Amino acid sequence: MSWIEDPAFTADEPFGPQTLPYGVLPGGIAVRVGDQALLLRGLALGERLGPLVATGTLDALLAAGRPAWSELRARLVEIVSAASAPRGAELAGLDGAVLPFTVADYVDFYSSRHHAENVGRIFRPDGEALLPNWTHLPIGYHGRAGTVVVSGTPVVRPHGQRRTSAGPVFEPTRRLDIEAEVGFVCGGPVASRLTPSQAVDHVFGVALVNDWSARDVQAWEYQPLGPFLGKSFATSVSAWITPLEAFAVARVSPPPLGNDVLPYLVEERPWGLDVDLEVEWNGVVVSRPPFREMSWTFAQQLAHLSANGATVRPGDLIASGTVSGPARDERGSFLELSWGGKEPVVVGGDERTFLEDGDTVRITATAPGESGSVVGLAEVVGTVSPADER
């Protein structure tokens, strides 16, 4: 029996000892243990590990690389599994978690075939649903690191330019949407030209991402260069980063692309992940997107983004792209769920298409862990605030 007495700290709960995600609370770096957190500042972790967790951010730990990550995780498993509280152990509540690392670069991919086909059909009804490059490379764009915010941060309805029959107007968006995604937090030495198997050692952990999107702004601005102001106003991430090591059992092969890929994108053993997402809109579950349906893995995404010599550095956040499955109730955006606003979604008795002021969206996820346990990804939640006055 662990000295941590918490009904949520068991192997069949998402934040049991098999998960131990890292976050930053007012008391410093912590790992989540059920519905509370273990602060690391007072623990005797030694000369090598101690300084990595003595600050108010995960930055030093991210930079330290895989051997330090593994050593620290093994040590923490020992500590939380002990029968009596080790010296310096201090538990805290989960309130007040901040963005736990400095986001270096933010890249957003587009790796769900179902999402790409749905968006293609909605935005380009007369064209091919999937563009010809999609099965040959992980499509992505460079996003805006400075507006990545921690779960719980209110999302102000953005202004933007949209097209009307009388010409463009600048107003608060009328089509505010979500994108349910899985994010990969990078670390280790600065590197480029990674193979997929090398790329894995540059991923510290996994978090949920909500890539808030203004669809009317996006539809007008995105051609020919892709997303810009329709995406950059806010991107929310979980407050707790689940270490990649917790996902060993969840590893699966992604669905086939239907063609060979070039050698630099070939994975010996693929890094698809069997993660089940759940999207709640004002407390009502409206979708359960399956991450195992993603066609490109994070290892291929990192190999691709660094293939031209571009660097991967600690704090880079790599988002998967909207996770959508083949069924209607597996779609990871309201654009798809409402089919471009034409098929409203019933949310607690109300018919909805896009987000209204005051709406709250919460995304959670779980994956299979060792010995039948459940590995959790911490929620990413956000509530829409009205647009600014001007």
Closest approach of Cβ 319 to Ca ion, in Å? 6
Strand partners for 109: 140
Query: Please, are residues 380 and 236 in contact by the beta-carbon 8 Å criterion?
Result: yes
Q: Which is nearer to Ca ion, 181 or 359 (CB)?
A: 181
Closest approach of Cβ 371 to Ca ion, in Å? 34
Map the chain to HEC letters: CCCCCCCCCCCCCCCCCCCCCEEEECCEEEEEECCEEEECCCCCCHHHHHHHHCCCCCHHHHHHCHHHHHHHHHHHHHHHHCCCCCCCCEEECCCCCECCCCCCCEEEECCCHHHHHHHHHHHCCCCCCCCCCCCCCCCEEECCHHHEEECCCCEECCEEEEEECCEEEEEECCCEECCEEEEEEECCCCEECCCHHHHHHHEEEEEEEECCEEHHHHHHHCCCCCCCCCCCCCEEECCCEEEHHHHHHHEECCCCCCCCCCHHHCCCCCCEECCEEEEEECCEEEECCEHHHCCCCHHHHHHHHCCCCCEECCCCEEECCCCCCCCHHHCCCHHHHCCCCCCCEEECCEEECCCCCCCEEEEEEEEECHHHCEEEEEEEEEEEECCCCC
Closest approach of Cβ 108 to Ca ion, in Å? 5
Q: Which is nearer to Ca ion, 16 or 138 (CB)?
A: 138
235 known member of a binding site: yes
Closest approach of Cβ 266 to Ca ion, in Å? 25
Intra-chain end-to-end CA distance of the chain, in Å: 58
Rounded CA-CA distance 139/271 in Å is: 17
Residue nearest to Ca ion (CB): 211
Q: Which is nearer to Ca ion, 38 or 209 (CB)?
A: 209
Q: Which is nearer to Ca ion, 13 or 216 (CB)?
A: 216
Q: Which is nearer to Ca ion, 77 or 229 (CB)?
A: 229
Closest approach of Cβ 143 to Ca ion, in Å? 8
211 known member of a binding site: yes
Please identify which of the residues 115, 142, 159, 304 carries the catalytic annotation: 115
Q: Which is nearer to Ca ion, 183 or 188 (CB)?
A: 183
Q: Which is nearer to Ca ion, 179 or 216 (CB)?
A: 179
173 known member of a binding site: no
Residue whose C-alpha is closest to residue 86's, from 50, 38, 51: 38
Instruction: Give me the residues that bind Ca ion (CB under 5 A), please.
Output: 108, 179, 211
CA 25 to each of CA 58, 98, 145: distance values in angstroms, whole numbers, following the listed order: 11, 6, 21
Closest approach of Cβ 209 to Ca ion, in Å? 8
**Is 136 in the active site?**
no
106 known member of a binding site: no
179 known member of a binding site: yes
264 known member of a binding site: no
Closest approach of Cβ 211 to Ca ion, in Å? 4
110 known member of a binding site: yes
Active-site residue list = 115
Binding-site residue numbers for substrate are 110, 124, 218, 222, 322
Binding-site residue numbers for Mg(2+) are 211, 231, 235
